[in-house]
Chain A
Amino acid sequence: MSSQNIYILGIESSCDDTAASVIYNGKILSNIVASQKIHEEFGGVVPELASRAHQQNIVPVVHQALAKANITKEQLNAIAFTRGPGLMGSLLVGTSFAKSLAYGLNIPLIDVNHIQGHILAHFIDEEGFEKPPFPFLAMTISGGHTQIVRVDNHFDMTVIGETIDDAVGEAYDKSGKILGLGYPAGPEIDKRAQHGNPKAYKFTKPKVDGLNFSFSGLKTAILYFIQREVKANPNFIEENLNNICASIQYTIIGILIDKLKLATKQTNIKHIAIGGGVSANSGIRQALKNGEQKFGWTTYVPKFEFTTDNAAMIAIVGYLKFLDEDFASQDVMASARLKI
């Protein structure tokens, strides 16, 4: 077969969202995440935001991805799906669907590791976005992940640091909960932080050896700090919200940048690729830009729609594995605790 005209369908169902994407030779043609919009178009029910049942969504989402890409399923060259890690019940829906579709169309099936997807999203062809050269360091920061991975090749990756308790997105969400902000709280803390003094309050950084992270202690420190201050002044939060947000953000970014500095020093690699939903945080982006000037880093941030849980990142891994002819058999099973 020609390596010039490859269409791959990517399916992602590891956690809350059901998503499908069509990639054509490394370029994304469609990237659909289950949302109310799809239900409107297909005239179906609109389930509660957090309780999306993958089984209801997967068929409309895949239809939509094919329609948006303007192809039929018969044009597909392979089906890629998230095998893990994730929730078993959620993974099973995507896995079974992908296996059946590949079997029905008699085309190869490709299993994808969700974490590798976050990292390899940097290899999607997208105008204005450069791909990192090997070797590089990938830092994935999201509600569920906080990791630094050394990437020597597309499929040669080593985790060199990860959180020992809460993920960074969780540190934002739980701080937001303490402050009475909505969920997810990251965007609002980020916005308010820009109008506050980052050094108004000082929170101690956790002492964690090596390249591992810890955010659980910070959450507790913030909780006690707020409880103490509110006891003295019931309006403390309202009167100082921007300063509190700025100080929390300053501490979190400090933790991330300290570890990146250590990682670049230990590995002597200065190309840093960021992924995961928290990479949208403007304070983190600014700190990375400063790192370019101060420490000689080159940093890479993919287009936002490829950083949160999405199927485009599954499709690009599918494409890269397709080129290697690295296919899965029909015996492949979902794996909730899949590692890199």
Chain B
Amino acid sequence: MEIVYTLNDLKAVAKQLIENIRSKTLLLYGDMGVGKTTLVKAIVEELGSIDNVSSPSFSIVNEYKTVDYLIYHFDLYRINGIEEAYNFGIEEYLYSNNWSIIEWPDIAKDILPKHFDKIELSINDDNTRTLHINNI
């Protein structure tokens, strides 16, 4: 499915996104500046966490808490190979039955759980964003 939105609609978009995904593993695609981390902030809030969502670009993984689950928020941009991903224990996170939201996910594509949701973000000329969800 496809959603076109502005930053003011983020809360509603996050709600709609959560209703339309089929897994707890979300792969986030989109160029720098398109608003990936901003969208994650809205998703995490919608999932019921009050934790401060910040960029994991340096830390690689941030963890947020909801009542029932943890949410792992990855940025794999700095990871140079699958070996590095194994070194920080990526499969422990991915197969923990918690939420995984992954920015720049390509490096992990061979070790993902069977079902995941692909979310693609792009920016339009009028500064709105388009979001595509693919259940895989």
Contact = CB atoms under 8 A, between A and B. Distances in A.
B131 interface: no
A51 B86 CA distance: 10
Contacts of A142: 58
A223 B32 CA distance: 8
B66 interface: no
B59 A86 contact: yes
Contact of B55 (A51, A88, A166, A220): A166
A48 B80 contact: yes
A35 interface: no
B38 A174 contact: no
Contact of A87 (B38, B54, B55, B59): B59
Contacts of A85: 59
B54 A224 contact: no
Contact of B59 (A144, A162, A178, A220): A144
Nearest to B38: A216
Given A144-B59, A165-B54, A216 B92 contact: no
A191 B39 CA distance: 34
Most-contacted residue by chain A among B53, B58, B62, B84 (CB, 10 A): B58
Given A169-B58, A216-B38, A224-B33, A337 B87 contact: no
A293 B130 CA distance: 50
A278 B115 CA distance: 41
B132 to A, nearest CB: 21
Interface residues of A, number: 35
A56 to B, nearest CB: 10
Q: How many residues of B sit at the interface, in one of the four size bands? A: 20 to 34
B78 A87 contact: no
Contact of B84 (A50, A144, A166, A170): A50
B94 to A, nearest CB: 13
Interface in B1-60: 32-33, 35, 37-38, 41, 52-55, 57-60
Contacts of A53: 87
B106 interface: no
- B interface, over-half SS: loop
B32 A51 contact: no
Nearest to A145: B58
A80 B49 CA distance: 33
Contacts of B61: 87-88, 336
Contacts of B37: 165-166, 216
A219 interface: yes
Contact of B32 (A15, A86, A177): A177
B89 A170 contact: no
Contacts of A89: 87-89, 92
A174 B55 CA distance: 12
B33 A223 contact: yes
Interface in A73-114: 85-90, 92
Interface in A144-201: 144, 162-167, 169-170, 173-174, 177-178
B80 A51 contact: yes
Contact of A165 (B38, B78, B89): B38
Interface in B64-104: 65, 78-81, 83-84, 87-89, 92-93
A283 interface: no
Interface of A: 15, 48, 50-51, 53-54, 85-90, 92, 142-144, 162-167, 169-170, 173-174, 177-178, 216, 219-220, 223-224, 336-337
18 contacts: A51-B84, A85-B59, A87-B88, A88-B88, A88-B89, A89-B89, A89-B92, A92-B89, A144-B58, A144-B59, A164-B52, A164-B54, A165-B37, A165-B53, A165-B54, A170-B55, A220-B33, A223-B32
Q: Which 3 A-B pairs have the closest CB atoms?
A: A89-B89, A144-B58, A143-B58
